[in-house]
């Protein structure tokens, strides 16, 4: 069940919303919580039933073991418990993400055939595992209040943020579940929720999906030799990635708002960033917050020098690359970003100033140059695209869009929607983001805005002829 599906928008979400608030109306608060938990598990299990068992086992392990920290035990036992929990969580994550990758390497080394088996990659495991890691670390530090099992289970599995974030903290979520003032229907939150769901749907089905055919065609036929197409490819990937992921997060936040639950914002106009460092403070903000609070800051307690800072930055981005996926190209992508952030740190220390417009365009161009290392299976292909983008390719094949071809014929139509492309560039570089627009909409509460919103929702819904998965869907 995808957010961008009629099944979710017109069936699952309305039913869960109505039943939840009916139960709360009769002051059946605990039953309402359990119902929302069951609904979240049903939502998760709609992809594959096996996923639910894995999620439940993960929840049981972490909640049961975290209760040990509340007991009067020695510091040594607490540390041992924490280490075991971290090993368990990381082991589960690595086991599922890297099983096939490691098995293929092993069978290659021993020259034995790899018996392909049905492989289960639990949806959202990269996200709900980090949530639970942050929880057990906070339990060890003694900063967690005592929560009952159902509240904790709902915190981990709450369906709007379960599959692809944002990565939430226990102190942000569980108190909201226990706030009885949030158990009543809030018209203002419904307005904001519907607005964000509509904007997220628009981003996904109108904008992000419009780049899919072009990107897939370039990758399938490896059209990496043309300078113009290589840059259009990079630009398309940058725009698709933003509108797909931020569209998901908008729909997640909007769905949560319907239940009076406020999730943390995950994007803040990342392509308006004036530097790579600024970009990483705006993109996937809850993930960056996790990496900063639980990896970077503890490392920084041992060093204050610029060199030490850069080493720690590289460690964090190396871990980020491993978290992104099994392909070594992902690690290279993480390390390249680490290098750029280190250069940015030196840039700041030297107090070099650049006009805002130029710095924004430079940063945006840099992000496009990094796209060959996103979603490409082979490192050689990544290098080939990058060389072409830098004008270093040995040969150039002239390819024109929309069927006008020179030098050789293509067995397909390579095209981009120019209007959509221009609109997307304008949105990411100039216009207000969905967070700002949601605030304006909720404050104005204008009938004209509501009519426009209804039209946008209707048009976007008509575009759902075939629901496409989000990029971070299996992650």
First to last CA, the chain: 16
Cα torsion through 222, 226, 232, 237, rounded to 10: 30
Q: Specify whether 271 is located in the same domain as 139.
A: no
Question: Could you tell me the pTM of the whole model?
Answer: 0.88
The answer to whether residue 468 is domain-embedded is no
179 and 194 share a domain?
A: no
Distance, in Å, from the CA atom of 342 to the CA atom of 347, rounded to the nearest integer, reads 9
**Statement to judge: residues 315 and 414 lie in one domain:** yes
Give domain status of residue 473, yes or no: no
Whole domain around residue 211: which residue ranges?
189-462
Handedness of CA 41, 42, 46, 50 (dihedral sign): positive
Residue 471 domain-assigned (yes or no): no
Asked whether residue 324 falls in the same domain as residue 422, the answer is: yes
Q: Is 287 inside any structural domain?
A: yes
CA dist 173 and 352 (Å) reads 41
In this structure, the answer to whether residues 166 and 256 fall within a common structural domain is no
Residues 267 and 385 in one domain: yes
Domain end among 160, 184, 208: 184
Sorted by sequence, the CB contacts under 8 Å of residue 349 that are 6+ apart come out as: 306
Residues 387 and 310 in one domain: yes
Residue 442 to residue 389: CA distance in whole angstroms = 43
408 and 345 within one domain: yes
Claim to verify: residue 270 and residue 173 sit in the same structural domain: no
- Average pLDDT for runs of 10 along the chain of length 475: 84 95 94 95 88 91 89 86 91 78 62 51 85 92 88 94 87 91 91 91 90 84 78 92 92 94 93 94 93 92 86 93 83 93 90 90 95 85 87 58 42 70 93 87 77 82 67 59
Task: Report the C-alpha gap between 150 and 98 in whole angstroms.
Answer: 31
Same-domain check for residues 161 and 95: yes
Within a domain: residue 342? yes
Q: How far is the C-alpha of 180 from the C-alpha of 28, rounded, in Å?
A: 11
Domain boundary, last residue among 157, 184, 211 = 184
Number of independent structural domains in the chain: 2
Q: For residues 380 and 401, state if they share a domain.
A: yes
Residue 103, pLDDT score: 63
Let me know whether 171 and 288 are in one domain.
no
Residue 409: the pLDDT is 45
- CA 320 to CA 330: how far, in whole Å? 9
207, 209, 215, 221 alpha-carbon torsion, rounded to 10°: -150
Q: Quick one: pLDDT at residue 116? A: 39
Among 184, 209, 228, the domain boundary falls at 184
């Amino acid at each position: 069940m995808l957010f961008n599906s009629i099944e979710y928008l017109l069936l699952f979400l309305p039913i869960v919303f109505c039943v939840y608030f009916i139960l709360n109306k009769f002051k059946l608060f605990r039953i309402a919580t359990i119902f929302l938990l069951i609904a979240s598990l049903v939502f998760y299990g709609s992809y594959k039933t096996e996923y639910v068992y894995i999620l439940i086992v993960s929840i049981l392990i972490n909640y049961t073991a975290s209760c040990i920290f509340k007991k009067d035990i020695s510091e040594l036992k607490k540390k041992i418990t924490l280490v075991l929990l971290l090993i368990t969580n990381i082991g589960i994550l690595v086991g599922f993400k890297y099983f096939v990758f490691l098995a293929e390497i092993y069978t290659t080394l021993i020259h034995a055939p790899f018996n392909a088996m049905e492989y289960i990659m639990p949806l959202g495991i990269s996200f709900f595992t980090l949530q639970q890691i942050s929880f057990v670390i906070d339990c060890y530090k003694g900063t967690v209040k005592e929560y009952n099992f159902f509240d904790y289970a709902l915190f981990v599995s709450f369906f709007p943020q379960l599959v692809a974030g944002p990565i939430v903290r226990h102190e942000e979520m569980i108190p909201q579940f226990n706030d009885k003032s949030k158990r009543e229907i809030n018209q203002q939150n419904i307005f904001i929720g519907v607005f964000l769901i509509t904007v997220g749907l628009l981003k996904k089905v109108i904008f992000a999906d419009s780049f899919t055919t072009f990107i897939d065609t370039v990758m399938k036929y490896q059209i990496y030799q043309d300078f113009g197409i290589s840059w259009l490819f990079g630009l398309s990937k940058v725009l698709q990635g933003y509108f797909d992921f931020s569209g998901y997060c908008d729909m997640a936040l909007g769905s949560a708002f319907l239940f009076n639950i406020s999730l943390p914002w995950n994007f803040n106009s990342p392509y308006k960033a004036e530097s790579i460092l600024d970009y990483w403070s705006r993109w996937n903000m809850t993930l960056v917050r996790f990496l900063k609070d639980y990896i970077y800051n503890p490392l920084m307690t041992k060093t204050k020098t610029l060199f030490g800072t850069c080493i720690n930055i590289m460690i964090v981005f190396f871990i980020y690359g491993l978290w992104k996926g099994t392909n070594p190209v992902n690690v290279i992508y993480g390390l390249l970003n680490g290098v750029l952030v280190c250069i940015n740190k030196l840039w700041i220390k030297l107090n070099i100033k650049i006009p805002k417009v130029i710095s924004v365009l430079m940063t945006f161009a840099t992000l496009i140059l990094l796209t060959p290392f996103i979603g490409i299976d082979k490192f050689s292909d990544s290098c080939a695209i990058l060389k072409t983008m830098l004008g270093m390719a040995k040969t150039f094949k002239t390819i024109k869009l929309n069927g006008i071809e020179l030098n050789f014929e293509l067995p397909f139509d390579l095209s981009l929607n120019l209007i959509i492309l221009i609109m997307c560039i304008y949105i990411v570089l100039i216009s207000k983001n969905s967070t700002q627009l949601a605030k304006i909409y909720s404050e104005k509460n204008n009938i004209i805005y509501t009519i426009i919103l209804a039209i946008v929702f209707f048009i976007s819904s008509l575009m759902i002829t075939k629901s496409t998965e989000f990029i971070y869907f299996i992650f």
